[in-house]
């Protein structure tokens, strides 16, 4: 094998002779890191290959040889702490550490195999095949031995483990039994993962929803980075992509970019739902996308403007000219919705430290949490209304007792109870939350989060409305319960965050935890009693303009909220108490059946309305209800 599996002779020569001071510094740092790694006998195999290609120094070959032989001399490549009893007596051969070892051995052989003795080569080929490629594919892919299915293990494990085996198969395919067949079967299993549509009978969501990935941004990065490691090598060794993955990957990286919050602070942030920390961390999959030739508007803008302290330096060097090209364009869209996984993101702009709102109302499968209708707000370079993230260890008792539960999220509780704990640890909820009627229009941005399913043991209806207009975001909760009780609105935020509860509620402060180091953190709880018909409502607001002083005034069968130059009317007659007759209300002269009406002078917008009349004029007349500005309404369409 030749170094062209990862980089070409032309690329190495360009990096060695560059006159760009920034790139020269980066290359010098890479070579220094490789030298230190070789001295201690532990180093990233890619870095050793790069250093050898640049210098021809045999120390890097010797270090790679020691690492490879130590690997294949190990008795087993499965994690010693892996519990085979979890599979009811089946012989489990592989886990994530198996995949990691297989990747290291395969890359090492691709880079250094032709520089080793025949004896060493034979040991590495046999060891990687028997402990890595064969065992991984036996567990995950091959007929007659496979024990996994996409409906149960079709999350990041599937992609990571099979990508590792596929990488081994393409590197060693001429040197192992049935190499071509193993590569073909592994590739088919990976394509099946990308295209998996979900299984409602198992409450298993689809893998990708137009690029959106339900487990979290962090697990998206992990799974796609491992796939692209294989795909890049496959293309360089065969001249072809493993399968027709271009459209799938372009949609996936667009999702990743939509979840990015650029900050002028010491780190950027990403939408922090699920088992994932808010930090930029080592999210390097965008570099792998670009290295593979997947480029979309905004990708180079991201790579140019992100916080770079944890970027993959080798790929950054190889992609330097593309990343540093002038005038990168930001992502095309400022908002995105992924209704099948229940994620939506709204950006004020792509400038650093602007405003980003994220909403989740979907699944709780695997690394997703019990957070139906939760929301996050990023502003002034940080998450001002946040998700408490997760602990550093899934074995930490607080992980199951707090971090994944409803108490740790910006959701509603009934008599102190949230989603059923079993939603996370048994088999998801068979009634996932839904996002409905996503609109991103000029001056009117709207989304409805329907959390009825996940909270169905308490709520007959749980609708949370998000309305983003000029200078504010309004949050209106409309709940109907099965019985009388107390409904609580939880809000986790930094001190001084802009959220204000406008509707009457008892306020208190409780203490939870935040972050991997499990520091205690206070959060706000607003509680109200259900009415005689078991309904409860909240109205809160996030002023984005400090000059806005919002005021809520009770009116007949509703609320009037003034916020700057906008007046919002909430029609309580539209809460489902009235059936078979329309829920028409007259609010300050506005004659309407809309659930929410927002007025700016003589112009108005509606949420779920079919009639608007004022001063003897008909402004909206439709047979079924619509949303948006009344002069360009959008019909209700179920899920967003």
Would you kindly state where each structural domain of the chain is located, as residue ranges?
3-207, 335-551
> 202, 427 in Cβ contact below 8 A?
yes
**What is the tens place of the pLDDT at every residue in 446-478?**
999 999 999 999 999 999 999 999 999 999 999
pLDDT score, position 388:
86
Provide the pairing of β-strand 412-414 with 486-491: antiparallel
CA-to-CA dists, residue 555 to 33, 541, 558, 569, angstroms: 68, 18, 5, 9
pLDDT score, position 366:
81
d(CA 136, CA 317): 33
Q: Which two tokens stand for residue 112?
A: 């250094």
Residues of the chain scoring pLDDT < 70: 1-3, 80-90, 277-282, 309-310, 423-427, 637-640
pLDDT score, position 1:
42
CA-to-CA dists, residue 110 to 4, 68, 76, 169, angstroms: 9, 12, 22, 11
Provide the pairing of β-strand 506-514 with 551-555: unpaired
| Non-local CB neighbours of 148 within 8 Å, separated by 6+ positions | 139, 140, 158
d(CA 193, CA 581): 48
DSSP-assigned letter for residue 115: G
- Least Cα distance to 308 among 351, 267, 279 occurs for 267
pLDDT score, position 220:
93
- Alpha-carbon dihedral sign for residues 194, 195, 200, 202: negative
pLDDT score, position 576:
86
Q: Count CA atoms within 13 Å of residue 575 on its CB side.
A: 24
> What CATH fold (topology level) applies to the domain 335-551?
Beta-galactosidase; Chain A, domain 5 (2.70.98)
**What is the tens place of the pLDDT at every residue in 307-349?**
776 689 999 999 999 999 998 999 999 999 999 999 999 999 9
Q: Which two tokens stand for residue 483?
A: 């019985």
pLDDT score, position 37:
95
pLDDT score, position 476:
98
- Alpha-carbon dihedral sign for residues 569, 571, 575, 579: negative
Please name the residue that has the structure tokens 């409502």.
Answer: 537
Roughly what angle, to the nearest 10 degrees, separates helices 217-238 and 96-112? 30
For 399, other C-beta atoms within 10 Å of its C-beta total 18
Alpha helices per DSSP H over 173-293: 179-195, 217-238, 246-258, 285-291
List, in sequence order, every residue forming a beta bridge with 476; answer none if it has no partner: 465, 539
> 219, 252 in Cβ contact below 8 A?
no
What is the reported pTM? 0.94
The DSSP secondary structure of 305-348, one letter per residue, reads HS--TTS-HHHHHHTHHHHT-SSPPPPS-SEEEETTTTEEEEES
Distance of CA 78 to the CA centre of its chain: 28
DSSP-assigned letter for residue 407: G
Question: For residue 506, what is the enclosing H or E element?
Answer: strand 506-514
> 171, 110 in Cβ contact below 8 A?
yes
The DSSP secondary structure of 173-201, one letter per residue, reads TTTSTTHHHHHHHHHHHHHHHHH---BGG
Question: For residue 128, what is the enclosing H or E element?
Answer: helix 118-128
d(CA 304, CA 323): 6
- Least Cα distance to 81 among 102, 96, 60, 103 occurs for 96
- Least Cα distance to 572 among 458, 466, 478 occurs for 478
d(CA 255, CA 282): 17
């Amino acid at each position: 094998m030749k170094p062209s599996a990862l980089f070409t002779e032309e690329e190495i020569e360009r990096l060695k002779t560059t006159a760009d001071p920034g790139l020269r510094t980066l290359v010098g740092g890479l070579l220094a890191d490789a030298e230190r790694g070789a001295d201690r006998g532990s180093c990233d195999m890619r870095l050793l290959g790069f250093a050898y290609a640049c210098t021809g120094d045999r120390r890097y070959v010797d270090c790679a040889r020691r690492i490879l032989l130590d690997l294949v001399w190990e008795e087993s490549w499965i994690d010693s702490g892996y519990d085979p009893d979890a599979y009811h007596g089946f012989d489990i051969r592989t886990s994530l550490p198996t995949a990691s070892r297989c990747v290291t051995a395969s890359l090492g052989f691709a880079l250094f195999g032709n520089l080793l003795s025949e004896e060493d080569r034979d040991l590495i080929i046999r060891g990687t095949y028997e402990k890595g490629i064969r065992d991984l594919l036996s567990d995950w892919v091959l007929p007659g031995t496979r024990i996994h299915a996409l409906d149960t293990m079709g999350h990041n494990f599937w992609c990571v483990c099979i990508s590792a085996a596929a990488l081994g198969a393409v590197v060693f395919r001429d040197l192992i039994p049935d190499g071509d067949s193993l590569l073909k079967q592994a590739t088919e299993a990976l394509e099946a993962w990308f295209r998996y549509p979900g299984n409602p009978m198992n409450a298993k969501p689809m893998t990708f929803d137009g690029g959106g990935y339900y487990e979290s941004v962090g697990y998206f990065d992990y799974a796609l980075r491992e796939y692209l490691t294989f795909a890049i090598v496959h293309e360089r060794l065969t001249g072809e992509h493993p399968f027709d993955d271009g459209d799938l990957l372009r949609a996936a990286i667009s999702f990743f970019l939509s979840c990015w919050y650029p900050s002028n602070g010491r780190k950027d942030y990403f939408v922090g739902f699920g088992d994932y920390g808010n930090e930029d961390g080592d999210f390097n999959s965008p570099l792998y996308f670009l290295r593979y030739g997947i480029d979309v508007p905004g990708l180079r803008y991201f790579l140019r403007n992100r916080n770079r302290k944890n970027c993959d330096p080798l790929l950054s060097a190889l992609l330097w000219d593309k990343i540093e090209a002038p005038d990168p364009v930001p992502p095309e869209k400022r908002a995105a919705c992924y209704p099948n996984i229940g994620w939506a993101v709204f950006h004020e702009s792509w400038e650093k430290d602007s405003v980003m709102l994220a909403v989740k109302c979907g699944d709780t499968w695997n690394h997703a949490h019990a957070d139906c209708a939760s929301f996050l707000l990023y502003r002034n370079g940080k998450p001002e209304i946040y998700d408490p993230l997760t602990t550093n260890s899934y074995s930490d008792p607080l992980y199951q007792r707090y971090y994944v539960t409803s108490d740790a999220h910006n959701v509603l509780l009934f008599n102190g109870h949230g989603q059923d704990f079993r939603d996370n640890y048994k088999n998801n909820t068979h009634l996932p939350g839904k996002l409905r009627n996503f609109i991103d229009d000029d001056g009117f941005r709207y989304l409805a989060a329907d959390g009825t399913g996940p909270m169905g043991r308490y709520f007959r209806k749980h609708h949370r409305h998000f309305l983003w207009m000029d200078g504010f975001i309004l949050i209106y909760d409309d709940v109907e319960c099965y019985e009388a009780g107390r409904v609580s609105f939880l809000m986790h935020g930094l001190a001084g965050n802009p959220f204000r509860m406008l509707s009457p509620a008892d306020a208190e402060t409780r203490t939870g935890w935040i972050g991997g180091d499990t520091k205690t953190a206070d959060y706000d709880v607003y509680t109200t009693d259900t009415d005689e018909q078991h309904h409860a409502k909240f109205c809160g607001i996030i002023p984005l303009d400090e000059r806005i002083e919002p005021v809520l005034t009770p009116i007949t069968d509703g609320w009037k909220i003034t916020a700057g130059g906008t007046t919002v009317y909430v029609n309580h007659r539209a809460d489902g108490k009235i059936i078979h007759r329309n829920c028409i209300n007259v609010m300050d002269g506005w004659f309407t059946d809309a659930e929410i009406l927002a007025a700016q002078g003589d112009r108005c917008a509606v949420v779920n309305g079919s009639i608007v009349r004022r001063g003897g004029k008909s402004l909206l007349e439709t047979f079924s209800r619509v949303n948006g500005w009344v002069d360009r309404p959008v019909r209700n369409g179920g899920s967003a």
